[in-house]
Amino acid sequence: MSARQELANAIRALSMDAVQQAKSGHPGAPMGMADIAQVLWTDYLKHNPNNPNWADRDRFVLSNGHGSMLLYSLLHLTGYDLSIDDIKNFRQLHSKTAGHPEYSYCPGIETTTGPLGQGVANAVGMAIAEKTLAAQFNKGAFNIVDHHTYAFLGDGCLMEGISHEACSLAGTMGLGKLIMFYDDNGISIDGEVEGWFTDDTPKRFEAYGWQVIPNVDGHNSTEIIAAIEMAKTNTESPTLICCKTVIGFGSPNKEGKEDCHGAPLGEDEIKLTREKLGWKHGAFEIPDDIYAGWDGKTKGDEAETHWNTQFENYRAAHPELAAEFERRTSGTLPENWEANTTAYIADLQEKGESIASRKASQNALNAFGPLLPELLGGSADLAGSNLTLWSGSKGLKADDASGNYVHWGVREFAMTAAMNGIALHGGFITYGATFLVFMEYARNAMRMAAIMKQQNIQVYTHDSIGLGEDGPTHQPIEQIANLRMTPNMSLWRPGDTVESAVAWKAAIERNDGPTCLIFSRQGLPHQERSAEQVANIAKGGYVLKAFADGEQDALLIATGSELGLAMDAAAVLTEKGQNVSVVSMPSVDLFLAQDDAYKESVLPAAVRNRVAVEAGIKDYWYKFVGLDGAVVGMETFGESAPASDLFKLFGFTVDNVVATVEGLIGKGQ
């Protein structure tokens, strides 16, 4: 047995032992890809277990995340902070070794993978980030950004549509430092894939503009080495290395079968596997010489030390760029950020423009963009409608990646998942855009951003039946509620230019999760505010119109395009002698994060006559108005007609809001 095989067998042993002890998991992929992993991680992967966050490390993504024991084995063996006890604790509560790789659970995990195909898109995003950062910072002989992105993927990843979206764009963008290994084992959970997956994968990727290296024996280190060498010499195109492997390699009775895909091998089969592999060690037992063969700390320290020396030389030659690189990779905002953004917001309040909030969003980008060289924007083929291009936008191209804008094409899912990869890579604040209704295509990627606590800003325009003539297919009804109910998701639906700018400021400052910015197609009226009210916008909800002295009769809660409607209705009610207040709540999650005293000052518990007004699904708002309150909202899908006609049809009129409030007041008398 070769030394390489012996090292690879350590992965197989740890994987089958951990899955067996947990009584659940997926031993097949780790055992099948062990030889590929051994070559990549010992011979090529630039990383440092002593500093997992080194800026110029290669990125490794296990897109087929169910094979998590492959990654955990690699991290443990190469010297990351992942002990053998952690391996033994696979899939247990509060373990570092969760069922699928979870970002931040353990050093060395670059992204959370599980939903198949998203790791592919994450890797594309990381490669975009590397190429763009290199184009912006590398000068002459100083290649301070110079690393590869490697990804492992299986049949399931390639069946998922997101793989097409992401890999098509990767070819167009010429991501030459992106190398993916396709685990072509012909098996998925249901059995042999030839019954449902017969694509000619090499031709598919050739059509994308990738370099394809087909028919590599995934158990032959010589062929694997040759394939990686060939991949690294092509700097113009991403590379797919198609590796023929045997799932569950080494298991006498289960290799090559679905039996080892998602279930433990069993004690008897593990004994037989040890014998077949020539692995003479007990469960979770790794000899010192195997650890020594895998150890990546010395080599990693040397690589990082060399880079540090190069960076200090770079600093001497380009001090401003070096300082900017450190600022951006640390995630720190520019020193002038707070002063300039606060001044812009105050100026907007004074100007009092009445425009569509999507236009207000673009104006905010024009104001904030020059302050943020790390801003990397984009849109899923709707830039002219989403208004996400600003005066300083420059598109990324295959031959010039120095810009700050990605034309994602009609690829909402890949866009959002790739943006997660960009965020995970570091050095950028990234935003994308589409119509709100099409967030449905990308929702799972936003969920992953929330799980991973990654900054991913989505601009969702055309936010309601106000879209008008395009009809129910394009009119979002339930989407805002869906996003609001997602843990760690922040959402803003601003009601005018000022709230739109505050929303952008909050999204840029938030670095522990994604933010959805919901903007209107139609014009929105400016609202008058005091300086205190402007400051309170950042709290997510505030009193825009206070009630007069005496007993309060009712309060209205509104967001976005319905804020002006609520204010108009309140004016009529006031004329009719009703003592009412209006609460603007552009960000429910931020409002709920405030202390109890503030929330009580905005929504007094004693005021039970409450009406929420929003052109979205009604159900969400009952948590604020109670079952004794009322909601002016949607209960059905929309219709195709001019927006003004639709607002009348569905009750978004002053008369209806007034009548709804008066109905509640009447009940209480």
**Could you give the residue numbers annotated as active site?**
412
- What are the φ/ψ torsions at residue 376 (nearest 5 degrees)? -125, 105
Beta-strand ranges (E) seen in 51-148 are: 59-62
Tell me the three state secondary structure of residue 164: helix
Tell me the three state secondary structure of residue 115: coil
Look-up of token digits 């990546």: 296
Question: Contact 634/477 with Cβ under 8 angstroms?
Answer: yes
Q: Tell me the longest C-alpha to C-alpha distance in the chain.
A: 92
Amino acid at position 295, single letter:
D
C-alpha span between 328 and 348 (Å, rounded): 28
> What DSSP letter does each residue of 49-101 carry, written as one string?
TT-TT-TTPPEEEESSGGGHHHHHHHHHHHT-S--HHHHHTTT-TT-SS-SS-
Indicate the pairing of strand 490-492 with strand 542-545.
unpaired
CA dihedral in degrees (194, 199, 202, 207; nearest 10)? 180
Say if residue 254 is exposed, middle or buried (CB neighbours under 10 Å; 0-12, 13-18, 19+): buried
**393: closest CA among 413, 381, 379?**
379
Which residues have a Cβ under 8 Å from the Cβ of 141 and sit 6 or more positions away?
A: none
Amino acid at position 179, single letter:
I
> What DSSP letter does each residue of 271-331 carry, written as one string?
HHHHHHHT--S-TT---HHHHHHH--HHHHHHHHHHHHHHHHHHHHH-HHHHHHHHHHHHT
Give the pair of three-digit tokens for residue 292.
């020594």
Question: Contact 342/161 with Cβ under 8 angstroms?
Answer: no
Give the pair of three-digit tokens for residue 624.
């604020």
Indicate the pairing of strand 191-192 with strand 211-217.
unpaired
Which residues have a Cβ under 8 Å from the Cβ of 57 and sit 6 or more positions away?
A: 46, 47, 48, 147
Q: Is 250 left (phi over 0), alpha (psi -120 to 50) or beta?
A: left
Question: Contact 639/649 with Cβ under 8 angstroms?
Answer: yes
Torsional sign, CA 556, 562, 567, 568: negative
C-alpha span between 468 and 561 (Å, rounded): 14
C-alpha span between 45 and 40 (Å, rounded): 6
Beta bridge partners of 184: 244
The CA–CA distances, whole Å, from 524 to 498, 534, 560, 567, 656 equal 11, 17, 8, 12, 19
Give the pair of three-digit tokens for residue 490.
């922040």
CA dihedral in degrees (206, 208, 211, 214; nearest 10)? -40
Distance of CA 343 to the CA centre of its chain: 31
Helix or strand (DSSP H, E) at 663: helix 654-668
Question: Contact 64/34 with Cβ under 8 angstroms?
Answer: no
